[in-house]
A and B are shown apart, each in its own frame.
Chain A
Amino acid sequence: MTDSEQDAGARRIFEARGLTKIYRMGEVEVHALRGVDVDLYAGEFVVLLGPSGSGKSTLLNILGGLDTPSGGTVRYAGRELILNDDTRMTQYRRTHVGFVFQFYNLIPSLTARENVALVTEIAVNPMTPEEALARVGLESRLDHFPAQMSGGEQQRVAIARAVAKRPQVLLCDEPTGALDAQTGVRVLDVLARVNRELGTTTVVITHNAVIAAMADRVVYFGDGQVVRIEKNAEKKSAMDLHW
C-alpha cells in the first residue's frame, strides 16, 4: 500500500519532511537525523524499530515537542508546528500528546489516581482518572502510591496518565524496556487496547523486533534515516508475543 492509498483510508496526523538533527558534542558533530520524511496516520499503531543511536528517540522527541530539529518541518493535523516556541509546545503537549517512558516517570508523592488527575486537571476534555485507570486494568489500585506497585503496574499508570486527556497521539519510548517479558506483554496489550478503543495514534519505539508483529506499520531506522517501512498484513495480538 502506498501513501496515497493510506490517504484514502485515513487522515494524516504527522507529516515530517527533511528532518535533520545535529548535536554538537564539543568539537564533534553527531548527526542524529539525516533527512527523515515520514507520515503517521490517525488511529494507526506504529512501531519504530532500530538499534540504539539510530535516531528513533530523536524523531519521537521532535514529534512530541520535546526537542527542536536542526532542519526540516513537522506538520501536525495539517498545521506546521512551531517547535522553538516553548509556550506553544507546552500547550501542544498538554492538549494533544501523551508520553510513556521507559522509567515510567510517575510522581512518587502522588497515588495512581492523583498521578492521572495531575493531567486531567489541566486538560480540556479528559476522561476521569478512574476511567483511565480502569482502561489499563488498575481500577483496584486507585489509591496506591508508586512505591506500592510493581514496575508493570507503574507503567500502566503511566499509560493511563498519558491517555486520560484523550490525546491524538501516544508516544512511547521503550515502554517495556525496564520490564520482564511477561509484564511487558501485558503493558503492550494495554497499549493495543487503548489504540483500538480510543483510536489514538500510537507510536512505540523499541529495539525488540518481536514487538513489530503487533503493529499496523513498522518503520525501520538506521543511522539517522528511515531504512524502510513495512505494513503488516496481519497484526498479532500482544498476548501472542514471546521473547
Chain B
Amino acid sequence: MTMRAIDQKLMRDLWQMKSQALAIALVVMCGVGTYVMFITAQNALRSTQDIYYRDYRFAQVFASLKRAPESLRARIQSLPGVDQVQTRVVAQARLDMPDFNEPVSALMVSDSGRHGLNALHLREGRLPVRADEVVVSTPFAKAHGLQTGGNFDVILNGRRQKLTLAGTALSPEFIQQMRPGSVFPDYKRYGVMWMERQALGNACDMQGAFNDLALSLRAGADVESVIDRIDELLDHYGGQGAYTRHDQRSNRFLNQELTQLGTLASLFPVLFMGIAAFLLNVVIGRMVAMQREQIAMLKAFGYGNIEVLWHYLKMVSVITGLGVAGGIGLGVWLGRQLSGIYMEFYNFPYLQFTLQPGTVLEAAAISLTAAGAGTVLAVWRAAALRPAEAMRPEMPASYRETGLEKLGVKRWLSQPARMIARNIRRHALKSLLSMLGIAMACGIILTGLFQRDTVGYMVNVHFGMAQREDISVTFTEPTAARVRFDLQSLPGVRHVEVFRLVPVQLRHGHLSYRTGIRGVEPGGDIQRLLDAELRQVDMPDEGLLLTDFLAKILDVKVGDKVRVEILEGSRPVREATVSGLVREYTGVSGYMELAALNRFMHEGPTLSGAYLSVEGGQLPQIYTRIKGMPRIAGVAERMQEIRNFNRMMNETMLFFTYIATVFSIIIAFGVIYNSARIALTERGRELASLRVLGFTRAEIAYILLGELGILTLLAIPFGLWLGEWMCYYIAHTMQNDLFRVPVVLTPGTYAFAATVVLVSAIISGLAVRRRIDQLDLIAVLKAAE
C-alpha cells in the first residue's frame, strides 16, 4: 500500500521537527509518567492492604487489660454484634541476641493459629508448637540474620529463657513494627514475636487468663456500643479502653502513609499533567500557527477544512501519542519501583499490582485533549482565511510603543532593545504563556526539592533542639523515683532527666484523641519543649501543654479545659486546663510538669523512663550494665533514631523527590527549548533581514535570545513564588497527627531551581543559536512568508 501524499507530508514534517517533537513528547511523557506512577502505586498498595486484611482476618476491635480470666471470653462472645473473639497474652520482653551488645526489646504475642484473627503469614518454618518455640517477624529475623532452628535468650517476666526459632512470619496487625513512642521502625532493636498461647501464658503467670483482646464484628454491628460494653466488662480487670481498627497503631500508620501517598498521587499528577497539558496546548498551537501558508496551500488544492484539521490532528497525535506511550511505560515501571519500596517498607507479604485500563485511558485522554484543543484553535484560525489571502505575505502586525518607553525610558534603548520590548508587549499573551510555562517548570523543581530540605530541618529541630539525649530508657512499669539515682550512678552517665508517661484519652466536647501525657522535669536540658518560634517553653507549675496540632484536633485554645480519661490503673477521669502549646513535627502529645503529673495521678514520685546523656565512647559499657537491670524494658539511641528516620525518608519520600526533580528539569528544558525554536521560526524572516542589513550573528542572536532571556529572568522569581506556594499547599494537605511537614526551603534550593531554569535556557539558546547561524538569508527574503 502506498502512502497518500498528504501522509507523506505528515511523516516528513514530523521528521523535520524531530527535535521539537521530541521535546514535546518528553514533557508529555513526564506528565503521564508521574500520573501513572502515583495512581498505580496508590491502587496497588490500597488493594494489597484490603486483600491482606481480608485473607488474614485482621481484627476490628482491640483492647488491652491487666488480667482477666479466660471465662470472660464467653461473655464477650455473647455481646450483640461480636463475631469472632480472640483472647491473647501479650508481653514486653528483653532479648539477649548473640553478637549484638545493645539492648533489644520485643513484643511477645500469643499465637492464635491458622484460622484465628490476625493470622500469621509464614515466610519460613512453621507455627510454634513446643513451649520453647517462637516465630519472629521476618524483618527482625533478617536484621539479625536468624535462621530457623537457631536460638536466642529472652528475659520474660524477669526470667531468662532460651527460645528456638520455629519460623518467621508477617502479620496484618504489625505491618508497621515500631517501638511505642517511636515513629519509625528499628528492626535491629525492636521486634514482634509469637509464642504458643499456653507457653507464653505460663511464662507471664497468665495461666487460664488473658491480658489482650481482639475481635471481629458482624456486618451492621454498632461499633460504639460494642466498645462501650467491652469497656464495662473489662473495667474490673484493668482494661485500658477498647479501640477500633481505626486507632490500631500499625493500621493507623499505614493509613496515614497511604493517605499521604494518595494526596501526592492526586496532587503531583494534577500538577505535572496540568503543566504538561498547558505546555502541549501552547506549543502545539504555535507550531500549527506557523503552518499557515501550508494550510492555505492545502485548501487551494481542494482539501476541506475538516481534512486539513484531521491532517494536523494526526501530526499532533503522533507526537502526543509517543509521549503517552513512553509515559505509560515509564509510569508502570516507576509505579512498580515505588510500590516495591513500600511493600518492603510495610512488610506486605505480596503486592497486588495491576495497571488499570482506566488510568491509561485517563492519561491518554487528558494529553490528547490538551493537544487537540491547541491544534483545533490554531488550525481554525488559519483555515478561516481564504487561501489566496493566507498565501499573501501577512500584513505587518501592528505594534505600539510600550508604556515604559512613553515614560521616557526609550532614549536609553537601542533599536534591538526596542524590538525586544515591543515584541513582548505586542505578543503579550504569548509572552505571558511562555513565561508562565517557564515559571511552572521552575516551581515544580521546588516541590520536588523542598521535602529534602524539610527532612533535614525536621531532624535538626527534633533531634538537635528538642530530643537531645544520647539514649532513652523506658521501664517495664511505673517505677519509684529513686531509680534515677541508679541510672545516675552508672559509669559514663553524664546527666539524667526522668519522665512519667501516662496513656490517656483526651476529650473536648465531642472531639477526642488517644495519646499520652508526658511529665517532664522543668527547665530540662535534654528534653526541651519548643514553641512555634522554636524557643524553649517554660513549663508551668500546673496545667497541660499540648502539641499545637493536637489543640487543633481537639479544637481547644489556651485556657480551655479538657477531660482527661486516664487509661491505666483505676482509669480515673479528671479535668485539666490547657496552659500552653508546643511545636512538634512528629506525633502529638500532652505535657505536664513531672510533679504536677504525679499529683494529678494521685501518686507519689513515679517515673516511666529516663533520658541519659553519656560520655563519649561509654555506650557499650552502659548497655552491658542496663542489660542487667530487669526493670528496663527498652532502650533507644538517639543517633540510631536519626538513622532510622533518615532511612525511612530516603526509602519512601525521597524516591519521588528524585523523580519529581528529574521530571521537572525535563519539563523546564522542554518548555524553554520549544519557546526558543518557535520564536526562531516565527521571526526567522525578520532576523534574516537584519543579517542582510549588516547585523552580525551575535547581534541578531541578542534580539531573539534577549527576549527569551528576559522572559526567563521574569519567570524565575515568579516561578519560585509559585513553587513556594505549591510547597505550602502540599505541606498543608499532608499534615496529620503523625507528621507535620514544615515548609523549609534553603537558599541553595532556590538557587538550584533558578540554575536549572537558567541552564535549560542557555542550552536551548545555544541550540537555537546554531540554527540562527545557519539561517538561509536568500531563501528567507525570497519567500513571501
Q: Which residues of A contact B (CB under 8 A)?
A: 57, 61, 64, 66-67, 86-87, 90-95, 97, 99, 101, 103, 105-110, 114-115, 117-119, 121-123, 145-148, 154, 161, 173, 178
User: CA separation between A106 and B397, bound complex, in Å?
Assistant: 11
Contact between B685 and A108 (Cβ–Cβ < 8 Å)?
Answer: no
B159 adjacent to chain A (CB < 8 Å): no
Once bound together, how far apart are the Cα atoms of A115 and B419, in whole Å? 10
Which chain A residues lie closer than 8 Å to B396 at the CB level?
106, 108, 145-147, 154
Contact of B415 (CB < 8 Å), options: A97, A106, A121 = A121
Query: Least Cβ distance of B57 to chain A in Å?
Result: 75
**Closest CB of chain B to A121's CB: distance in Å?**
6
Residues of B within 8 A of A146 (CB): 396
Query: Is B219 interfacial (CB-CB < 8 Å)?
Result: no
- The answer to whether B694 and A107 have CB atoms under 8 Å apart is no
| B302 vs chain A, min Cβ distance (A) | 27
Across the interface, A118 reaches (CB within 8 A) one of B685, B693, B777, namely: B693
Is B341 positioned at the interface, with any CB of A under 8 Å from its CB?
no
A55 CB to nearest B CB, Å: 13
Map CB proximity to A onto B688-710 as digits: 1 under 8 Å, 0 otherwise: 01111111110100000000000
Q: In this complex, what residue of A is CB-closest to B785?
A: A103
Which single member of B419, B693, B695 contacts A161 (CB below 8 Å)? B693
Partner of B692, one of A99, A109, A115, A178: A99
Q: How many Å lie between the Cα of A101 and that of B784 in the bound state?
A: 11
7 more CB-based (< 8 A) A-B contacts, given A119-B693, A146-B396, A147-B396: A90-B691, A106-B396, A108-B396, A110-B415, A122-B694, A145-B399, A178-B393
CA distance A106 to B686 in the complex (A): 8
**Chain A residues whose CB sits within 8 angstroms of the CB of B388 once the complex forms:** none
B422 A110 Cβ-Cβ under 8 A:
yes
Do A61 and B694 form a contact, CB below 8 Å, given A109-B426, A145-B396? Answer: no
**Across the interface, do A110 and B693 meet the contact criterion of CB distance under 8 Å?**
no
Tell me, yes or no, whether B1 is within 8 Å of chain A by CB. no
Residues of B within 8 A of A93 (CB): 692-694
Interface residues of B in 383-438 (CB under 8 A from A): 393, 395-400, 414-416, 418-419, 422-423, 426
Contact B398 A94 (CB under 8 A): no
Bound-state CA distance A41–B781 (Å) is: 27
- Given A107-B419, A110-B419, A147-B397, also A90-B784 (CB < 8 A): no
Task: Decide: A67 near B778, CB < 8 A? Known: A93-B692, A94-B693, A145-B399.
Answer: yes
Which of A93, A95, A122, A123 counts the most B-chain CB atoms under 10 A from its CB? Answer: A122
Task: Give the residues in chain B near A57, CB-CB below 8 Å.
Answer: 782
Q: Which residues of B have CB within 8 Å of A106?
A: 396, 689
Residue of A nearest to B780 (CB): A105
Whether A108 and B695, one on each chain, are in contact in the complex, defined by CB atoms closer than 8 angstroms, is no
The answer to whether B689 touches A90, judged by C-beta atoms less than 8 angstroms apart, is no
Complex contact A95–B426 (CB within 8 A): no
A99's nearest neighbour on chain B, judged by CB, is: B692
Most chain A CB within a 10 A radius of its CB, from B418, B694, B695, B697 = B694
- List, in ascending order, chain A residues with CB within 8 A of B395's CB: 147
Asked if B692 and A66 sit within 8 Å, CB to CB, the answer is yes
Q: Which residue of B lies closest to A103 (CB)?
A: B393
- 26 residue pairs of the A-B complex, CB under 8 angstroms, read A57-B782, A64-B692, A66-B778, A67-B777, A93-B692, A97-B694, A101-B689, A103-B781, A105-B692, A106-B689, A107-B690, A108-B397, A109-B397, A110-B399, A110-B418, A114-B418, A119-B693, A119-B694, A121-B415, A122-B694, A122-B699, A123-B694, A145-B398, A147-B395, A147-B398, A178-B393
- Are the C-beta atoms of A90 and B696 separated by less than 8 Å? yes
Contacts of A147 in B (CB 8 A): 395-399
* Chain A residues near B414 (CB-CB < 8 A): 121
Contact B695 A105 (CB under 8 A): no
Residue with the greatest number of chain A CB neighbours at <10 A, chosen from B396, B423, B699, B778 = B396
Give B691's nearest chain A residue, CB to CB. Answer: A90
Partner of A101, one of B419, B423, B781: B781
Distance between A163 CB and nearest chain B CB, rounded to angstroms: 12
Spell out B's residues near A (CB within 8 Å): 393, 395-400, 414-416, 418-419, 422-423, 426, 685-686, 689-697, 699, 777-778, 781-782, 784
Give the CA-CA distance A93 to B397 in the complex, in Å: 27
> Complex Cα distance A97/B691, Å?
12
Instruction: Check A107–B686 contact: CB distance below 8 A.
Output: yes
Minimum Cβ distance to chain B for residue A81 (Å): 15
Give the complex CA separation of A57 and B778 in angstroms: 10
Of B423, B693, B699, the residue contacting A99 (CB under 8 A) is: B693
Q: For residue B392, which residue of chain A has the nearest CB?
A: A178
A145 touches B418 (CB 8 A): no
CA distance A22 to B680 in the complex (A): 29
Q: How far, in whole Å, are A87 and B773 apart by their CA atoms in the complex? A: 12
Which chain A residue has the least Cβ–Cβ distance from B782? A57
Cβ–Cβ contact A109 & B778, under 8 A? no
Q: Which residue of B lies closest to A145 (CB)?
A: B399
Question: Which 9 interchain pairs have the tightest Cβ spacing?
Answer: A94-B694, A108-B396, A147-B398, A105-B689, A146-B396, A109-B422, A93-B694, A118-B415, A109-B399
Bound-complex Cα distance A109 to B697 (A) = 20
Q: A87 vs B691: C-alpha distance in the bound complex, in angstroms?
A: 11
Measured CB to CB, the closest approach of chain B to A27, in angstroms, equals: 18
A16 to chain B, nearest CB (A): 18
Contact of A95 among B397, B690, B694 (CB under 8 A): B694
- Shortest Cβ distance from A113 into chain B, in angstroms? 10
CB atoms of A90 and B393 under 8 A apart: no
**Cα distance A161–B415 when bound, in Å?**
13
Known: A108-B396, A108-B399, A148-B398. A87 touches B426 (CB 8 A): no
Taking the closest CB of chain B, its distance from the CB of A12, in whole angstroms, is 23
Assess whether A94 is in contact with B695, with CB atoms less than 8 Å apart.
yes
Give complex CA distance A103, B696 in Å.
Answer: 22
Q: B89 to chain A: closest CB distance in Å?
A: 85
Nearest Cβ on chain B to A94's Cβ, whole angstroms: 3
How many angstroms from the CA of A91 to the CA of B419 in the assembled complex?
A: 22
Partner of A91, one of B422, B423, B694: B694
- Cα–Cα, bound, A118→B400 (Å): 17
B696 pairs with A109, CB closer than 8 A: no
Shortest Cβ distance from residue A239 to the other chain B in the assembled complex, whole angstroms: 28
A145–B396 Cα gap in the complex (Å)? 9
Residues of A within 8 A of B692 (CB): 64, 66, 93, 99, 105
* Given A110-B419, A145-B396, A145-B400; A105-B685 close (CB under 8 Å): yes
The 8 Å CB contact of A90, one of B415, B416, B695, is B695
Chain B nearest CB from A169 CB (Å) reads 13
In the bound complex, residues from chain A placing their C-beta under 8 Å from that of B696 are 87, 90
Nearest-CB distance from B12 to chain A (Å)? 14
Nearest-Cβ distance from residue A143 to partner chain B, whole angstroms:
9
A118–B413 alpha-carbon span in the complex (Å): 11
- Chain B residues with CB under 8 A of A103: 393, 781, 784
Complexed CA–CA distance, A66 and B780 (Å): 12
Which residues on A sit within 8 Å (CB–CB) of B397?
108-109, 147
Q: Whole-angstrom distance from the CB of B292 to the nearest CB of chain A?
A: 16
Q: Is there contact, CB below 8 Å, between A117 and B695? A: no
Most chain B CB inside 10 Å of its own CB: which residue of A66, A107, A115, A122: A107
* Residue of B686, B689, B690 most packed against chain A (CB within 10 A): B689
Task: Please report the C-alpha to C-alpha distance between residue A90 and residue B688 in the assembled complex, in whole angstroms.
Answer: 12
